[in-house]
């Protein structure tokens, strides 16, 4: 089903911050590999190291120990790396400069490409990307980030990915800040991106339910280590790690008891 | 508060610009030594018989010029160094920090005196302004560096980098606008500080040799013993003007915080 | 006796240009002791405006249009903000705003922030008395009381901060607590801890009723006794939790339930429903049903006839065609 091309491979990598007594091992001796066109989720609570691992994959941080390879080579040139690996973040408002219009910032993304297309082509591609996330270009004409809603802004982040057409997308909690209704939309667009561009997606979240729906494989993280990995059904049906169990337990699911001994309504037969 | 500050400040600028039109400025001797205020020369005459109105207007122009020149140089230099060091971090930041600290440790006033006194001739307003600017920038650098360092971990910077923006573009487009209000406040304070520094250096006799400034007026008053003789018009008007300008600038600075951050208004 | 009664409450905003935005229209409900009411709806539906109205806190540009709000029989309408702040807030009705745990004063220790609230409402009480009471109360929270009280907000985790906020809001044993998205920005494990605390406090009688506002229906399933679904300023369905979650009638409620994702095996094949579009602009008078242009079951009549609340299947539904 998947290509045999290994996109990311990590060999005992660690990322530490601080020094001496206050040393923090954000990523602790982690090894894994991710193949092309896979959707992998990194799942864990806050502080588990998933965001730091994401930054390593993006080339924003270098691991202190171990080897991290993208397509078999270490990440030397950041700009070259960003032509193929891009990201969407959790808070769409903090991702854009509040002093410039949204459209001009979308056009800015072309600067990472080797050859910038002509102005007309850039405008066309921006229009197409907007339509791909169901936004008509006149809707955002001349608008600044603070004039749009959270859902629209999150779609701008996705439109940017449609423009850049990377091979790999690191999605860091893309739906944490949006409503349940908008969340389904965002996931739709992500799937659309994956289908059209044959992308590999690394999805980062604290919600195992979301990860379950979206991924081919799950990596459960806790305190910098990967404590479990596998296919969604395996991980949720027969979790091996207590941390996985904890995560599954902590999600309010409508069919199961959530907090022992406390129910505000009965579970129907 | 802001309104009062702006009004006062623009008042003084107005006097500096429009004054020469209303009053004829002359450096000629128009009467006896230290003639008291009266009639046309309602601010009296100095020890050389020159009209204080003319002197003060000229002096005001000079002081404002030096203040702004020093302010612009200090703010630009300090902002560039601070913003670059704060953003880059690492050894670049350490190095720039070391340079900044070096300049802070050496008392700028002493440098001012040394450089000024080494120019026996050719001490002009412009030179004084440049010297003040080149020694006062450390404060701007420190403040801006802290802000720049705090901003560099924001998401929109990461996104800008991933859009292929180089360091210069990130600094100018993605960091500087966010610091603009801060830099503006820094500029106001640097101008005030520049005016005060000029007055101080001129008062001890190391000021400009070719023009009148508020500081040189005070210096003259001091040298000719006007203080002791009760010749109040020799030093009070000049002091008042300096105080008013600096006070106005500080008012503007303090109230700017309220303008930029509406929550503080309540 | 009902602790909290809301009677056909409508609220509006006045924009700078004199436009009236009808943010909340005709909301009614009552609450008994020991019950939690969940209000669910997407952002922009008017939940946060409703919260201000429920406290009687009308600071321009927010104004009451009509209706009444009563706490233990006492009306909160037509009272000055000063009156509300002194006599109602924290004592009878307490509010935990969205993102409160990030809005704690970073320059004061937790115990000082709490002491400020206490001394503002209990004049003449002495400091040591305050700290004793604080410690007694915070001991119920399952955190390291001494550490939390003596720390600055920035030294605590998000969960500790949110629990502190809840602690401070309930210090004076208010009858009603309104919590606006109290767990939205927390990860699932911390969320559970905070909810456990809320249940604990309710059980111990520290507060009598709560309104829990969120857009996460699965959470309300476990937290609320009754649920009201809000859309474009109106309640579109109100009922018990079982009714709303397992037998939704209104098309919008059905869509919200369909947008849920669960980790149940076999659920992967089910695509969550996505609702395109956005809520209507409430500055303009809206003809017919407010949900009509996004409703999957909309008919021609929906855009014309105003929908009133009717009783369907033992709960209130605002849709003429709900079965």
- Residue pLDDT, tens place only, A233-264: 888 888 888 888 888 888 777 777 777 766 66
Q: Please write the tens of the pLDDT for every residue from B224-253.
A: 877 777 778 788 888 888 888 888 888 888
A202 touches chain B (CB under 8 A): no
How far is residue C212's CA from residue C228's CA, in Å, rounded to a whole number?
A: 10
| Maximum mean pLDDT: which of A251-255, B25-29, C63-67, C274-278 | C63-67
Edge-to-edge strand order for the sheet containing A6-17?
A24-35, A6-17, A65-70
Predicted confidence (pLDDT) at residue A268 exceeds the cutoff of 60: no
Q: Which chains pack against A, by 3+ Cβ pairs within 8 A?
A: B, C
In degrees, to the nearest 5, what angle opens at C-alpha A97 toward C-alphas A91 and A99? 135
The helix/strand/coil state of A16 is strand
**CA-closest candidate to residue A162, choices A111, A86, A101, A90:** A86
Q: Does C283 reach chain A within 8 Å, measured CB to CB?
A: no
Taking only Cα atoms into account, the Rg of chain B, rounded to an integer number of angstroms, comes to 22
Mutate which: A132, A264, A267, A268, vs C, most C CBs within 10 A: A264
pLDDT, tens digit, for every residue of C160-196?
888 888 888 888 888 889 998 888 878 888 888 888 8
Would you call A62 an interface residue with chain B, using a CB distance cutoff of 8 Å? no
**Residue B108 DSSP label:** H
Backbone angles phi, psi at A124, to 5 degrees: -60, -45
Contact A43, A208 (CB under 8 A): yes
- C-alpha to C-alpha distance for A183 and A191, rounded to whole angstroms: 12
Distance from CA of A172 to the nearest CA of B (A): 12
- B155, B165, B177 ranked by CB distance to A95: nearest: B155
Contact C263 A248 (CB under 8 A): yes
Nearest CA in chain C to A251: C188
Say yes or no: C109 contacts chain A, CB-CB below 8 A.
Answer: no
- pLDDT tens track for C250-299: 888 888 887 777 666 656 666 777 777 667 777 777 777 787 777 877 77
What residues of chain A lie within 8 A of the CB of B161, using their CB? 78, 82
Question: Please, which pLDDT band fits residue B79 given cuts at 50, 70 and 90?
Answer: very high
The residue of B159, B180, B181 whose CB has the most chain A CBs within 10 angstroms, and thus the best one to mutate to test that interface, is B159
List the alpha helices (DSSP H) in A26-109.
Answer: 50-58, 78-82, 92-95, 102-108
- The reported pLDDT for the residue numbered C227 is 92
CB within 8 Å of B62: residues ≥ 6 apart: B125, B208, B211, B212, B213, B214
- With an 8 Å Cβ cutoff, is C216 touching chain A? yes
Question: A89 and B158: CB-CB below 8 Å?
Answer: yes
Residues β-bridged to residue C6: C29, C69
- Percentage of the residues of chain B whose pLDDT score is greater than 90: 8
* pLDDT tens digits, one per residue of B44-74: 777 777 888 888 888 888 888 889 999 999 9
Cis before residue C61, ω within 30 degrees of 0? yes
Q: Which chain A residues are Cβ-neighbours of C268 within 8 angstroms?
A: 212-213, 232-233
Q: A90 with A177: CB under 8 angstroms?
A: yes
> For an interface test with A, which of B162, B165, B169, B179 has the most A Cβ atoms less than 10 Å from its Cβ?
B162
Does the pLDDT value for residue B144 go beyond 60?
yes
Q: Is B41 left (phi over 0), alpha (psi -120 to 50) or beta?
A: beta
Phi/psi class of residue C161: alpha, beta or left (left: φ > 0; alpha: ψ in -120 to 50)? alpha
Identify the CATH number of the domain in which residue B121 sits.
1.10.3720.10
Neighbours of B30 (CB within 10 A): 14
Residue B265's pLDDT is 46
Token pair 């009148």 is found at: B212
d(CA A58, CA B260): 36
Contact predicate B148/B179, CB 8 Å:
yes
- Examine the pLDDT at A40 and tell me if it is beyond 90: yes
- For chain A, say whether B72 makes contact (Cβ under 8 Å): no
Q: Which residues of A205-238 are buried (b: 16+ CB within 10 A; e: fewer)?
A: bbbbbbbbbbbbbbbbbbebbbbbbbebeebbee
Nearest to A209 among C43, C224, C262 (CB): C262
Tell me the average pLDDT of chain B.
82
pLDDT (0 to 100) of residue C306: 75
Answer whether residue B262 shows pLDDT above 60: no
Fold entry, domain C4-317: Rossmann fold (3.40.50)
Whether residue A61 lies within 8 A of chain B, CB to CB, comes out as no
CB contact under 8 A, A181 and C259: yes
Count of the separate structural domains present in chain B? 1
Residues of A with CB below 8 A from C265's CB? 233, 236-237
* Segment C291-315 mean pLDDT: 76
- Check residue C103 and give its pLDDT: 79
The residue assigned the tokens 């809001």 is: C169
C204 exposed, middle or buried (CB, 10 Å; 0-12, 13-18, 19+)?
Answer: exposed
User: Average pLDDT, whole number, for chain C?
Assistant: 83
Q: What is the mean pLDDT of residues B187-195?
A: 89
- Which of A50-54, B124-128, C46-50 tops mean pLDDT? A50-54
Calpha distance A247→B100 (Å, rounded): 50
Give me A43's structure tokens.
């799942």
Q: Regarding predicted confidence, which is higher, A267 or C32?
A: C32
CA distance to partner chain B, nearest, from residue A57 (Å)? 13
Asked whether B59 and B47 are in contact (CB, 8 A), the reply is no
* Contact residues on chain B for A113, CB-CB shorter than 8 A: 164
Please list, in sequence order, all residues whose beta carbon lies within 8 angstroms of the beta carbon of residue A68, skipping any fewer than 6 positions away.
A8, A9, A10, A11, A13, A56, A57, A62, A74, A75
State how far the Cα of A49 lies from the Cα of A67, in Å rounded to an integer: 17
CB contact under 8 A, A149 and C278: yes
Please state, in angstroms and rounded to a whole number, the distance separating the CA atoms of residues B248 and B10. Answer: 9
Contact list, B157 vs chain A (CB under 8 Å): none
CB proximity list for C230: less than 8 A, separation 6 or greater:
C39, C40, C41, C45, C46, C47, C50, C236
Q: Strands of C234-240's sheet, edge to edge?
A: C93-96, C176-180, C209-214, C36-40, C226-231, C234-240, C315-317, C310-312
Distance separating alpha carbons of residues C102 and C106, to the nearest angstrom? 9
Q: State the complex-level ipTM.
A: 0.76
Q: What is the pLDDT of residues B150-168, one digit of tens each?
A: 888 788 888 888 888 888 8
3-state secondary structure of A251: coil
CA dist., res. C204 & res. C207, Å (int): 8
Residue B266 has pLDDT above 50, yes or no: no
In words, the CATH class of domain A1-82+200-262 is alpha beta
Confidence at residue C49, expressed as pLDDT on a 0 to 100 scale? 85
Q: Do C192 and A258 touch (CB under 8 A)?
A: yes
Q: CB of B160 within 8 A of CB of B170?
A: yes
Residue in C with minimal Cα distance to A177: C185
CA–CA distances in Å: residue C301 to residues A88, C125, C297, C298, C304: 42, 63, 11, 8, 5
Q: Range with the lowest mean pLDDT among A25-39, A165-179, A248-262, C215-229? A: A248-262
Search chain B and give the residue with CA nearest A106: B163
Nearest CA in chain C to A46: C187
Interface of C with A in 55-94 (CB under 8 A): none
Q: Which of A108, A115, A171, A172 should one mutate to test binding to chain B, selecting the residue with the greatest count of B CBs within 10 A?
A: A108
pLDDT tens digits for range C210-242:
999 988 888 888 889 999 999 888 888 899 888
The pLDDT of residue C37 is 92
Poorest-pLDDT segment among A48-62, A152-166, B106-120: B106-120
Cβ neighbours for A222, distance < 8 A, ≥ 6 positions apart: A44, A45, A48, A241, A243
**How many angstroms away from the CA of A111 is the closest CA of chain C?**
32
Helix, strand or coil for residue A18? Answer: coil
User: Reduced to 3 DSSP states, what percent helix, strand and coil does chain B have, rounded to the nearest 5?
Assistant: 75, 0, 25
Task: Say if the Cβ atoms of C221 and A265 lie within 8 Å.
Answer: yes
**Which whole number is the average pLDDT over A159-166?**
90
CA distance C243 to C249: 9
| For A180, nearest residue in chain C (alpha carbons) | C259
Q: Does B160 touch chain A (CB under 8 A)?
A: yes
Nearest neighbour of A259 by CB, restricted to C185, C192, C267:
C192
Nearest to A230 by CA among A2, A57, A41: A41
Identify whether the C-beta of residue C103 lies closer than 8 Å to the C-beta of residue C137.
no
- Segments of chain B assigned E as strands: none
- With beta carbons less than 8 A apart as the criterion, state whether C194 and C159 touch: yes
Q: How much is the pLDDT for A200? A: 92
Containing C235, the helix (H) or strand (E) segment is: strand C234-240
- Chain B interface test: which of A92, A105, A153, A157 (most B C-beta within 10 Å): A105
Residue A212 has pLDDT above 70, yes or no: yes
Residue C305 banded pLDDT, cuts 50, 70, 90: confident
Residue A261: Cβ-neighbour burial (10 angstroms; 0-12, 13-18, 19+): exposed
User: Per-residue pLDDT averaged across C80-104, rounded?
Assistant: 82
Give residue A1's pLDDT.
Answer: 46
Q: Determine contact: A174 vs chain B, CB below 8 A.
A: no
Is the CB of residue A213 less than 8 Å from the CB of residue A51?
A: no
In chain A, what residues touch C99 (CB-CB under 8 Å)? none
Using the predicted structure, report yes or no on whether residue C79 has a pLDDT greater than 70: yes
CA distances from A56 to A51, A166, B162, C26 (A): 9, 17, 14, 52
Tell me, what DSSP letter sits at residue A76? -
Q: Where are the domains of chain C?
A: 4-317
Dig out the tokens for C184 from the structure.
């939205």
Phi and psi of A59, rounded to 5°? 80, 15
Query: Cβ atoms within 10 A of the Cβ of C158, count?
Result: 16
- Hey, is the C-beta of A238 within 8 angstroms of any chain B C-beta? no
What's the CA angle centered on C273, arms A246 and A143, to 5 degrees?
Answer: 100
Contacts of A121-130 spanning 24+ positions with Cβ under 8 A = A125/A163, A126/A159, A126/A163, A128/A162, A129/A159, A129/A160, A129/A162, A129/A163, A130/A159
Predicted confidence (pLDDT) per residue in A130-145, tens digit: 888 888 888 888 888 8
One-character DSSP codes across B113-167: HHHHHH-SS---HHHHHHHHHHHHHHHHHHHHHHHHHHHTTSHHHHHHHHTT--H
The Cβ-side half-sphere exposure at C177, using a 13 Å CA radius, reads 27
Whether there are 3 or more C-beta pairs closer than 8 Å between B and C is: no
- The structure tokens 């007594």 sit at A21
The pLDDT of residue A39 is 92
Q: Given this model, what pLDDT does residue C90 score?
A: 78
Pairing of β A24-35 and β A6-17: antiparallel
For C136-145, which contacts have Cβ atoms below 8 Å and span 24 or more sequence positions? C137/C167, C137/C170, C137/C171, C137/C206, C138/C164, C138/C167, C140/C200, C140/C201, C140/C204, C140/C206, C141/C167, C141/C197, C142/C193, C142/C196, C142/C197
| DSSP assigned state of B41 | B
Q: How far from A260 is each of A252, A256, B170, C173, CA to CA, in Å?
A: 12, 10, 52, 26
Domain boundaries, chain A: 1-82+200-262
């Amino acid at each position: 089903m998947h290509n045999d091309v290994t996109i990311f491979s990590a060999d005992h990598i660690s990322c530490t911050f601080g020094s001496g007594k206050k040393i923090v091992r954000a990523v602790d001796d982690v090894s894994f590999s991710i193949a092309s066109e896979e959707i992998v989720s990194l799942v864990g609570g806050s502080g588990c190291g998933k965001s730091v691992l994401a930054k390593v994959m993006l080339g924003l941080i270098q691991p202190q120990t171990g080897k991290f390879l993208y397509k078999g080579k270490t990440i030397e040139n950041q700009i070259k790396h960003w032509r193929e690996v891009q990201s969407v973040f959790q808070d769409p408002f903090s991702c854009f400069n509040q002093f410039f219009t949204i459209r001009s910032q979308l056009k800015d993304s072309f600067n990472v490409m080797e050859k910038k297309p002509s102005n007309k082509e850039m405008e066309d591609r921006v229009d197409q990307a907007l339509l791909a996330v169901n936004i008509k270009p006149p809707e955002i004409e001349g608008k600044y980030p603070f004039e749009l809603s959270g859902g629209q802004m999150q779609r701008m982040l996705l439109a940017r990915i449609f423009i850049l057409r990377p091979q790999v997308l690191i999605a860091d909690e893309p739906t944490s800040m949006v409503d349940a209704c908008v969340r389904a939309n965002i996931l739709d667009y992500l799937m659309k991106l994956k289908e059209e561009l044959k992308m590999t997606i690394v999805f980062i979240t604290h919600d195992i339910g979301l990860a379950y729906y979206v991924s081919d494989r799950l990596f459960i993280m806790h305190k910098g280590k990967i404590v479990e990995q596998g296919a969604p059904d395996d991980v949720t049906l027969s979790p091996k790690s207590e941390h996985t169990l904890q995560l599954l337990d902590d999600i309010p699911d409508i069919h199961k008891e959530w907090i022992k001994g406390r129910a505000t309504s009965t579970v129907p037969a | 508060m802001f309104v009062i500050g702006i009004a006062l400040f623009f008042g003084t600028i107005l006097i500096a610009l429009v004054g020469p039109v209303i009053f004829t400025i002359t450096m000629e001797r128009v009467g006896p030594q230290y003639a008291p205020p009266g009639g046309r020369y309602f601010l009296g005459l100095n020890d050389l018989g020159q009209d204080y109105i003319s002197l003060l207007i000229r002096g005001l122009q000079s002081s404002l010029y030096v203040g702004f020149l020093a302010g612009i140089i200090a703010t630009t230099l300090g902002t560039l160094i601070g913003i670059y060091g704060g953003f880059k971090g690492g050894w670049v930041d350490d190095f720039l920090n070391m340079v900044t600290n070096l300049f802070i440790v050496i008392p700028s006033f002493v440098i001012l005196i040394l450089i000024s006194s080494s120019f026996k001739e050719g001490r002009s307003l412009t030179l004084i302004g440049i010297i003040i600017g080149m020694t006062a920038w450390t404060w701007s650098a420190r403040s801006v560096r802290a802000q720049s360092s705090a901003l560099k971990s924001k998401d929109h910077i990461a996104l800008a980098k991933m859009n292929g923006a180089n360091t210069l573009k990130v600094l100018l487009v993605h960091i500087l606008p966010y610091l603009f209000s801060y830099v503006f406040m820094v500029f106001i304070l640097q101008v005030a500080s520049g005016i005060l520094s000029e007055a101080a250096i001129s008062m001890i006799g190391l000021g400009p040799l070719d023009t009148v400034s508020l500081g040189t007026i005070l210096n003259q008053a001091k040298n000719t013993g006007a203080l002791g003789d009760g010749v109040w018009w020799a030093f009070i008007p000049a002091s008042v003007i300096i105080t008013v300008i600096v006070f106005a600038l500080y008012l503007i600075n303090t109230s700017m915080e309220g303008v930029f951050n509406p929550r503080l208004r309540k | 006796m009902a602790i909290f009664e809301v009677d056909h409450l409508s609220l509006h905003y006045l924009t700078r240009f004199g436009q009236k935005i009808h943010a909340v229209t005709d909301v009614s409900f009552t609450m008994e002791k020991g019950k939690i009411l969940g209000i669910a709806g997407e952002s922009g539906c008017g939940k946060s405006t409703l919260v201000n109205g429920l406290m009687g806190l009308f600071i321009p540009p927010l104004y009451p249009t009509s209706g009444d709000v009563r706490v233990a029989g006492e009306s909160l309408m037509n009272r000055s903000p000063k009156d509300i702040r002194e006599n109602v807030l924290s004592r009878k009705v307490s509010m935990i705003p969205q993102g409160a745990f990030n809005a704690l004063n970073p320059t004061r220790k937790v115990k000082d922030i709490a002491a400020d609230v206490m001394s503002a409402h209990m004049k003449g009480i002495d400091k040591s008395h305050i700290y004793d009471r604080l410690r007694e109360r915070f001991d119920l929270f399952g955190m390291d009381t001494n550490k939390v009280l003596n720390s600055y907000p920035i030294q605590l985790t998000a969960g500790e901060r949110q629990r502190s906020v809840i602690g401070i809001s309930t210090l004076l044993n208010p009858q009603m607590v309104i919590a606006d998205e109290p767990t939205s920005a927390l990860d699932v494990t911390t969320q559970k801890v905070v909810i456990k605390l809320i249940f604990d406090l309710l059980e111990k009688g520290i507060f009598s009723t709560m309104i829990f506002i969120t857009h996460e229906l699965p959470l309300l399933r476990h937290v609320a006794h009754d649920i009201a679904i809000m859309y474009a300023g109106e309640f579109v369905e109100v009922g018990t939790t079982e009714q709303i979650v397992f037998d939704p009638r209104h098309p919008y409620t059905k869509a919200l339930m369909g947008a849920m994702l669960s980790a149940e095996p076999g659920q992967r094949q089910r695509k969550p429903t996505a609702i395109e579009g956005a809520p209507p602009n409430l500055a303009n008078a809206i003809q017919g049903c407010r949900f009509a242009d996004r409703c999957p079951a909309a008919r021609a009549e929906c855009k014309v006839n105003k929908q009133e609340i009717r009783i369907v299947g033992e709960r209130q539904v605002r849709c003429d065609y709900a079965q």
